[in-house]
C-alpha cells in the first residue's frame, strides 16, 4: 500500500544540493510547499536564494546565525534535539539571499512556501511559541505552534511541530484539507518530516487514505529522516511505537486567499473526540514546556473547534 511517490525514506530525497531532504514543489508535483533539511559541520555555512518562496530556518539540533543580504542578522540559540526544548527561529522573505552559519554544527529545517507578498525578515523567539496539548488518553500529543495560522505572520506558510509519546496516536481522528470550502475546510499541501527517539531502532507508522477516487494511499513505516508528502486524502493516524517517542514537522501551504488551517474529520472516526473529556491527558506530556507565556503576533482566523486534530 505504500506509495514510493509519497513516502520518501531517509536518504532518498536529497536532490542536487547539500540537503539531507530537499522537497520542492516541482519534485512533489504541487504548487506551494517546500522542505529542506540542512546539516552543517562545526564552522560550516550555507548560502541560498529564497527565490519565489518565504522560508523559516528552524533548528532541529544545534544553533546558528542567519544573515540576509539586506543586513539583518539573527542569532538562533537552537536546542540539543527536537525532543529537548522549544526553539527560536528566523523568518526569511522571498527575493532575498541568506547565509546559515553554525560554529558548533547542527541540523536545520528550512520550511518554505511559494508566496506573493514580501514580508520583513524577523526573529521568532522560543518564548513566542505556544505549546499546546491536544487529545487525551492514548490520543494525547504536544503541538509546538511556532508558525501556525494566527500565531506568526507569513504570507502562505503554515508550520508546526508535533510530539507523540511512544504508544500514542496523533493526527487522529484522520482529517483532510484538500478542497476549498469557505469556513469549513482549507486547501493545503502538506509535508510530514519525522524523527523518532531511540536511534536506529526507532520507528512509527503513517497512514494516508484516499478522500476521492484514485487519491493518495499510503501506509508507511517511518524512521528518523523520512518524509511523507500529502497532496490530498485523509491523513492519520501517525502511530508512535511503544518505547519510541515520535516527532514530526508539518509544513503546509495552499492557494487560499486567507492563510488558515480548516480541517474536516473522517466521518467514520470523528466520534473519538467525544471520548476525550472522559480521559486525562497522558501524564508524560508536555515532553517539555513553553519557555514563557506565548506571544501572539496576529489574530487567529480559524474557529477553535477546527484546530484539534493534529
Per-residue model confidence as pLDDT tens digits over 146-172: 999 999 999 999 999 999 999 999 999
Indicate if the pLDDT at residue 85 is higher than 60.
yes
Q: CB atoms < 10 A from the CB of 167, how many? A: 16
Gap between the Cα atoms of 82 and 84, Å rounded: 6
More confident of the two residues 284 and 199: 284
pLDDT class of 15 with cuts at 50, 70, 90 = confident
Helix (H) or strand (E) holding 27: helix 25-28
What is the mean pLDDT of the segment spanning 188-200?
95
Residue in 251, 34, 79, 56 with CA at minimum distance from that of residue 160 = 251
**DSSP secondary structure letter of residue 299:** -
User: pLDDT at position 294, please?
Assistant: 38
What is the mean pLDDT of the segment spanning 39-55?
97
Look at the block and give the residue holding cell 466520534.
271
- Indicate the SS3 state at residue 217: coil
Indicate if the pLDDT at residue 295 is higher than 70.
no
Gap between the Cα atoms of 68 and 297, Å rounded: 22
User: pLDDT at position 16, please?
Assistant: 74
Asked if 234 and 174 touch (Cβ cutoff 8 Å), the reply is yes
Indicate if the pLDDT at residue 293 is higher than 50.
no
Gap between the Cα atoms of 285 and 279, Å rounded: 14
Please tell me the pTM assigned to this model.
Answer: 0.93
User: pLDDT at position 303, please?
Assistant: 34
Classify residue 70 by burial, with Cβ atoms within 10 Å: 0-12, 13-18, 19+.
exposed
The torsion angles phi and psi of 11, rounded to 5 degrees, stand at 90, -5
pLDDT class of 307 with cuts at 50, 70, 90 = very low
**Whole-number average pLDDT of the chain:** 92
Among 39-43, 58-62, 209-213, where is mean pLDDT lowest?
A: 209-213
pLDDT class of 309 with cuts at 50, 70, 90 = low
Indicate if the pLDDT at residue 106 is higher than 70.
yes
User: pLDDT at position 20, please?
Assistant: 96
* Cα Rg of the chain (Å, integer): 18
Chain-centroid distance, C-alpha 151: 14
**Strand ranges for 210-310 from DSSP E:** 218-222, 227-230, 234-240, 246-253, 264-265
User: pLDDT at position 296, please?
Assistant: 38
Q: CB atoms < 10 A from the CB of 4, how many? A: 10
What is the mean pLDDT of the segment spanning 176-184?
95
User: pLDDT at position 299, please?
Assistant: 34
Amino acid at each position: 500500500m505504500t506509495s514510493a511517490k509519497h513516502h520518501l525514506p531517509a536518504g532518498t530525497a536529497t536532490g542536487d544540493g547539500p540537503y539531507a531532504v530537499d522537497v520542492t514543489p516541482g519534485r512533489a508535483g504541487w504548487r506551494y510547499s517546500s522542505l529542506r533539511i540542512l546539516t552543517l559541520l562545526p564552522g560550516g555555512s550555507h548560502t541560498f536564494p529564497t527565490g519565489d518562496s518565504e522560508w523559516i530556518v528552524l533548528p532541529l539540533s544545534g544553533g546558528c546565525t542567519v544573515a540576509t543580504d539586506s543586513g539583518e542578522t539573527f542569532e538562533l540559540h537552537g536546542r540539543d534535539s527536537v525532543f529537548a526544548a522549544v526553539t527560536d527561529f528566523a523568518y526569511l522573505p522571498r527575493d532575498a539571499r541568506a547565509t546559515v552559519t553554525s560554529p558548533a554544527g547542527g541540523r536545520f529545517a528550512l520550511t518554505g512556501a511559494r508566496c506573493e507578498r514580501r514580508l520583513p525578515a524577523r526573529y521568532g523567539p522560543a518564548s513566542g511559541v505556544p505549546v499546546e496539548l491536544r487529545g487525551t488518553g492514548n490520543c494525547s500529543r504536544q503541538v509546538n505552534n511556532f508558525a501556525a495560522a494566527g500565531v506568526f505572520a507569513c504570507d502562505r506558510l503554515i508550520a508546526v511541530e508535533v510530539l507523540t509519546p511512544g504508544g500514542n496516536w496523533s493526527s487522529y481522528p484522520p482529517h483532510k484539507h484538500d478542497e476549498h470550502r469557505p469556513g469549513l475546510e482549507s486547501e493545503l499541501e502538506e509535508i510530514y518530516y519525522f524523527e523518532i527517539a531511540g536511534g536506529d531502532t526507532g520507528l512509527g507508522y503513517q497512514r494516508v487514505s484516499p478522500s476521492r477516487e484514485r487519491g493518495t494511499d499510503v501506509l508507511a513505516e517511518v524512521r528518523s529522516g523520512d518524509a511523507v508528502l500529502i497532496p490530498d486524502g485523509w491523513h492519520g493516524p501517525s502511530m508512535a511505537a511503544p518505547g519510541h517517542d515520535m516527532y514530526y514537522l508539518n509544513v503546509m501551504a495552499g492557494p487560499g486567499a486567507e492563510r488558515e488551517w480548516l480541517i474536516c474529520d473522517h466521518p467514520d472516526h470523528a466520534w473519538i473526540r467525544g471520548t476525550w473529556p472522559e480521559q486525562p491527558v497522558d501524564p508524560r506530556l508536555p515532553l517539555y514546556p513553553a519557555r514563557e507565556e506565548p506571544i501572539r503576533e496576529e489574530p487567529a482566523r480559524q474557529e477553535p473547534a477546527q484546530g484539534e486534530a493534529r
